[in-house]
Structure 1
Amino acid sequence: MPIAVLFSALLVLFAPWVVAGQRLAGKRLSGQDVARQSVAMDSSGTATVSLKAFDLATLQPIPAQFLLREQKTGRQTRRLSTTAELEIKLLFAVTDSLLLLVSAPGYQPRRESHWVDTLTSLNNQYSFWIFLAPDIQKKAPIAEVAEARFDNLKAGETIRLDRVYFDQSSYVLRSESYPQLDQLVAALKKNRNLKIEIAGHTDNVGNVRLNQYLSENRARVIANYLRSKGVASSRLVPKGYGPSRPLTDNDTEENRAQNRRVEFRVLEVPNE
C-alpha cells in the first residue's frame, strides 16, 4: 500500500479522538460530563479543586459563599457550603488562574487568587482553605477579654496575639488587628519598664528563605505599630523565626494554621 494512502487512512481513523481532545481542553467538566468522558480522557488532564472556609479565630470550619471567576474564560460560578456539606469540590480541565471571593455572615469577606494546573499538580488535587476573620464590630466584647492576659506578666511568659491578622503571604497589617494591639500598648504603658520580644512564625509551606523574611517583617510591622502609639523602641525586640519553631506538626491545614502566628515573649519585668 502506498505511504500516502496509509497516512490518509490513519488520519481518518484518529480524527474523532483529536477533535474530542480539542473540545475537552476548552471547557470545564461538570458532573455529567465527567461520567461520559472519564473513559476517553486521562486523569492527568483534569484537576480537582476543594474549597473550604474556616473561622480564623477558632479554626473551625464554617458555611460560606464562594464566588469563582476563571481568568481565561471570564466564567463565574457561585457555590454555597452548608453545615451538612462544608467542603465544595469542582473539576477543571483547563489550566487557569482562579479569583475567589469568599464571604459569610459575621465575617470579613476575603479575596484570593490561585493557580490551577491540570497537568503538573501533585495528583491533580488542590485544596484551598480560606480563613475568614470575624467582624470585629459585631464581636466588640472579645477585645476586652484579651486585656486580662496582659496583666501580671512574668519574665519568660509567651502570649499569642490571636487577633492580629495579615493579608495572606504578606506583612500588611489588617485594621481588625488594632484593638488587641491597643490592649498591648495599654499594658506596656502601665508597666513602663516592661521589655518584650515580638516573634513572627510561619508554617513550612513554600521557600524557607521567603518564610523567614515574612516572619521578620511581620514582627517589625507590629513593633512599628507599638512605637507609633508611644512605646519606646528600646523596649521592643522584633524577631522572625520562619518555620523553625512550630507548635505542632505541619501535616494538616489546621496544624499549619496553628504554626502561622505572631506572639510576644516577656524579656524583662521590673521589680521581679
Structure 2
Amino acid sequence: MPGDALRYDVNLSILFTELPLLERPAAAAAAGFNAIELWWPFAEPDPPARELDALRQAIVDSGTQLVGLNFDAGNMPAGDRGLLSRPSQSHRFRTNIDVTVEFAASLGCTTLNALYGNSEPGLSAGTQRELATENLVLAAKAADRVGATVVIEALNSIENPRYPITSSRQALELVDYLRVVHQVPNVSFLADLYHLARMGESVQQLVERHTPRFGHVQIADVPGRGQPGTGELDWDAVLTTLAARGYQGHVGLEYKPVGPSAESFDWITKVTRENA
C-alpha cells in the first residue's frame, strides 16, 4: 500500500509558488504534509543571516520537517543547473557549502542535492569532471560532519540540453567513482523519476533493480511534469514496487501542479485506496 508505506514531502520551490516563500511551509502543513524540501531558495550563496533565520523560523513554526535541500545551483531561471563543474562558478559553490550544510543541520535535514553544472564551451568533459569531483568531495566531507548525505541527480536533456548527466547509469557511475576512488561514503543517487522517464528509461525497471541505491526519490508525471495521473506513467505500479523494495526515504513531490497546489494531491488518496 504505497500511500501508507511511503512518506511524501512537498518541494516548495515548485509547489505552492503562488504564495510567498515564507508562507509555503504552513501551506504544506495545512495540506496534510509534515515534510518539505527546497531548491536553494536565495539569490546569493551566502545570504544575510536574517533571511536564513526567517526561513528557518517559518519551517519550525509550520511544524514541518525539512528533508531535502539543494546547494546553490546558480540562476536556475536563466538556465544554470549547478556550479560545481564550472570554473567560473566554483568559488560560489564553495562559498555555499558550509552555509547549506549548517542551515540544513539546524533543521535536521540530512539530504543535500548537488547539481553537477552545465557543459561549458571550450572545456573538456574531463576537465569539468575533475573540478566537479573536487567540489563533491569537499561538499561530502562538510556534510559528513553533520551526518548528511550528498545526492547526485540526472536531468533530462530535452529541457536541460547542456547538462551532461542524463541517465541513471551516469549518475550511479559517478557515485561509485566517489565512493571507491575518493573514499567518500556519504554520496548517493537522487532518483528523479520524471527526468529519467523523459530520457526513455523504464522507471519501473529502475525501481525494481536499484531501489537500495536511492538516496532520495522525486516524482512528476510525463511528459508535462504535472502531478501523478496527469500523464503517462503507471504510478500505482511504480509506487507499489518502490514500497515493496523497502525504500525508507521520502518521495519528493516535485511537479508543476495542474491547478492550485492545494488541490493537486488527490492522487495520493486514489493510489492508497486502489492498493488497500
Task: Please tell me the TM-score bracket, short chain as reference.
Answer: under 0.3
Q: What is the TM-score when the length of structure 2 is the normalising length?
A: 0.26
Q: What is the TM-score when the length of structure 1 is the normalising length?
A: 0.27
Larger radius of gyration: 1
